[in-house]
Chains A and B, each alone.
Chain A
Amino acid sequence: MKCLRFAIFSLGGIAIGVLSAQAQQIPDLTVGNYKVQFHAFASQGYAYTNDNNWLTMNTSDGSAAMTDFGVNATVQLNDKLRIGAQFYDRNIGHLGQWSPEFDWGFADYRVKDWLGFRGGKVKTVLGLYNDTQDLDFLHTFAFLPQSVYPTDLRDSTIAHTGGDVYGTISAKKAGSFAYTLYAGHREDSPYGGYPYYLKDVGIDFSSYGGLQYGTDLRWNTPVAGLTVGASGMKENITGTGTSTIFGPPTPYAEHSKNDTTDQFYGEYVHGNLRLDTEYRRYLRDQDIFNNAGDIYTDTRGWYGAAAYRISKRFELGGYYSRFTSAYTTNIFGSTGASLDTSIPGNHIFDKVLCVRFDATSFWNVKLEGHFMNGNDSTGEYPDGFYNGVNPNGFKPNTIAFVARTGVNF
């Protein structure tokens, strides 16, 4: 049955690929004096785990509930002004639930190479891949390192409604510097990982979001192919909804006291070889239960990844991803803590191998193995493993097999 299901999705992928091939021939649409570029992508995945259901899917039975797609249009109105928008939808286990969202849409006005402005809903620049994390076809891997780019928590960083100031400054023989400053409002989907995590304990959010501001600075060094950078983000988030933890539904609210993300990264590309590494620390200090308590979470993640394109069609890659989580709580005068990140409940260490096959320039297939130790099950902020789909508890180790195919034009 599982093989049949995967075969059906593979055939579906081929069909989409063929349609995509047709779409490649579609020229820009001319509207008045303007040329409008249309692009789209879609991916379908299948995941199987030997133990522990992963990413809200029933992966221990094998799950093909891993689909996403997006479509966008962009038009350059004049030399300096460009506008565009993209819609995105996903269904990954309990995440997304086919609830389409306005992914990005903004006006981009570039005054000079060193000074540009974006206004609207903008993908947030944070590290190497935050703004492209949904775009499976850009990456070697079926899943980016979950320690830094958790698929279930993409809403928390993916975009802000507000504005960016950006630019690139040449430093002559020292290379160039690209900067982005941003501020705006983040609004999470009700079908993200954190709302799903809290629903299991009796908290149902009606809204979750708030101010997000930060900066990214990356140095394109004079060493060919070497880029290093740093990003920082502060947030002031409020979640409101209802709680049934103590019986009948009562209003519930939580908000940030301090919410800080720092990220450092480096990438080196030489010929067909790509190496990259990133470190992210997310400090999350929240007032919870309508200011009756406080929870302080310190999550840290890093990874080292390598990928090598062995031919036009094949690419091999692997990464080691390491995530730890520790917390202290003070709720209704009762304190608690879980600070030992060596226990499986407070970490996820993931070794990954992947092979990517590019059937055409617009259709790829990936096969990937994850060898995970830990599940972050005792942490107070999720990362991939949830009680809701693991009602019988967690095993310390998980082996996952992922197949994913994607098209784009």
Chain B
Amino acid sequence: MRTPTIALFTACLGLSLAAAVHAEDFKVIANESVETSAVSLDDLKSVFLETKAQLGSGHVVPVLEKAGPAHAAFLKDCLAKSDTALSTYYRSLVFTGKGTLPKALASDSDVVDFVSKTKGAIGYVSPSAASSSVKTLEVK
């Protein structure tokens, strides 16, 4: 009885870890002030869930897209939350005072523009989006 339980747990763990590492459908961009050039998926998730406010020694500010393929991919591959669940999560922070609502912008170009002008900003856009004014972070 114990062996199948351990096997099932191990399988779930393996599937969960394997499912969480593909990020080809979005790219992560950051303001030039952000000190790092690479970020792990776990750290990225923590930044967007506001449990992590620093990358390296610098403060970071997450920026969301409101919709679109990059947003859908980011929710699925990085945050593992639906749009509704993410909205509920942020509102739980806002209405208990334990966080703020991140900026949510309409398009890739809006996100790139905001990130380029905002110290510490970090966001995600489609892989094809023009992003010469910001740095692209490698997702490890």
B92 touches A135 (CB 8 A): yes
Cα of A138 to Cα of B20 in the assembled complex, Å: 26
In this complex, the interface size class of chain B, counting residues with CB under 8 Å from chain A, is 20 to 34
Q: Which residue of A lies closest to B15 (CB)?
A: A224
Query: Residue A84 at the B interface, CB < 8 A?
Result: yes
B97 touches A72 (CB 8 A): yes
Return B91 CB to nearest CB of chain A, in Å.
Answer: 6
A361 to B53, CA, bound (A): 27
Question: A39 vs B16: C-alpha distance in the bound complex, in angstroms?
Answer: 35
Give A269's nearest chain B residue, CB to CB: B85
- A79-B120, A82-B100, A271-B82 known; A222-B92 Cβ under 8 A: no
CB distance from A316 to the nearest CB of B (A): 14
Contact A123 to B84, CB < 8 A, known contacts A110-B53, A113-B52, A408-B91: no
Judging by beta carbons under 8 Å apart, are A104 and B13 in contact?
A: no
Using Cβ atoms and an 8 Å threshold, which residues of chain A touch B81?
Answer: 269
A residues less than 8 Å from B98 (CB atoms): 108, 123, 131
A157 vs chain B, min Cβ distance (A): 13
Given contacts A132-B92, A168-B51, A271-B82, contact A223 B16 (CB under 8 A): yes
Complex interface residues of chain A between 93 and 112 (CB less than 8 A to chain B):
104-106, 108, 110, 112
Bound-state CA distance A110–B120 (Å) is 16
Within B80-102, which residues are at the interface with A (CB < 8 Å)? 80-82, 84-85, 87-88, 91-92, 94-98, 100-101
Complex Cα–Cα for A257 and B89 (A): 38
Residues of B within 8 A of A132 (CB): 92, 95-96
| Chain B: minimal CB distance from A46 (Å) | 23
Q: How far is the CA of A123 from the CA of B93 in the complex (A)?
A: 11
Report B96-140 CB contacts with A as 1/0, cut-off 8 Å.
111011000000000000000000100000000000000000000
Interface size on A, residues (CB 8 A): 44
Report the nearest A residue to B52, measured CB to CB. A113
B1 at the interface (CB under 8 A from A): no
In the assembled complex, the Cα of A170 lies from the Cα of B43 at a distance in Å of 9
A309 x B95 contact (CB < 8 A): no
Q: Flag whether B12 is at the interface (Cβ < 8 A).
A: yes
B interface footprint on A46-90 (CB within 8 Å = 1, 0 otherwise): 000000000000000000000000101010100110101110000
Does A41 contact B95, Cβ atoms closer than 8 Å? yes
Contact string, A172-188, partner B, CB cutoff 8 A, digits 1/0? 01001010000000000
Q: Given A113-B54, A222-B17, A225-B80, are A72 and B42 neighbors across the interface (CB < 8 Å)?
A: no
Kindly identify which residue among B9, B53, B100 contacts A113, using a CB–CB cutoff of 8 Å.
Answer: B53
Q: Is B46 engaged at the interface, CB distance under 8 Å to the other chain?
A: yes
Which residues of A are found within 8 Å of B12, using beta-carbon distances? 223
Q: Which residues of B contact A312 (CB under 8 A)?
A: 84
Q: Does A283 contact B (CB under 8 A)?
A: no
Among A173, A176, A223, point to the contact of B51 (Cβ < 8 A).
Answer: A176
Report the Cα distance A39→B94, complex, angstroms.
Answer: 8
Which of B17, B51, B97, B98: most chain A Cβ within 10 A? B97
A151 to chain B, nearest CB (A): 17
Q: Which residues does chain A contribute within 8 Å of B52, judged by CB atoms?
A: 113, 168
Least Cβ distance of B78 to chain A in Å?
11
B120-A86 in contact (CB<8A): no
Residue A122 at the B interface, CB < 8 A? yes
Q: Mark A117-140, 1 if CB is under 8 A from B, else 0.
A: 000001100000001100101100
Residue A397 at the chain B interface, CB threshold 8 Å? no
Contact B53 A74 (CB under 8 A): no
A80, A123, A170, A272: the one within 8 Å of B97 (CB): A123
Residue A260 CB within 8 A of the other chain = no
Contacts of B19 in A (CB 8 A): 224
| CB–CB B88/A138 < 8 A | yes
Does the CB pair B97–A86 fall under 8 Å?
yes
Q: Are A79 and B53 in contact (CB under 8 A)?
A: yes
Q: Are B91 and A135 in contact (CB under 8 A)?
A: yes
Quick check: B100 and A76 within 8 Å, CB to CB? yes
In angstroms, Cα B13 to Cα A122, docked, is 36
CB-CB under 8 A from A82, the residues of chain B are: 100
- Chain B residues in the interface with A (C-beta under 8 A): 9, 12-13, 16-17, 19-20, 42-43, 46, 51-54, 59, 80-82, 84-85, 87-88, 91-92, 94-98, 100-101, 120
Q: A79-B53, A132-B92, A132-B96 are in contact. List 18 more A-B contacts (CB 8 A).
A: A70-B95, A72-B95, A76-B100, A82-B100, A86-B97, A104-B96, A104-B97, A113-B51, A122-B97, A132-B95, A138-B88, A168-B46, A170-B43, A176-B51, A222-B17, A224-B80, A271-B82, A272-B82
10 A–B contact pairs at CB < 8 A?
A72-B95, A79-B120, A86-B97, A113-B51, A122-B97, A132-B96, A135-B91, A272-B82, A361-B84, A408-B91
Q: Residues of A at under 8 Å CB distance from B?
A: 37, 39, 41, 70, 72, 74, 76, 79-80, 82, 84-86, 104-106, 108, 110, 112-113, 122-123, 131-132, 135, 137-138, 168, 170, 173, 176, 178, 222-225, 269, 271-272, 309, 312, 358, 361, 408
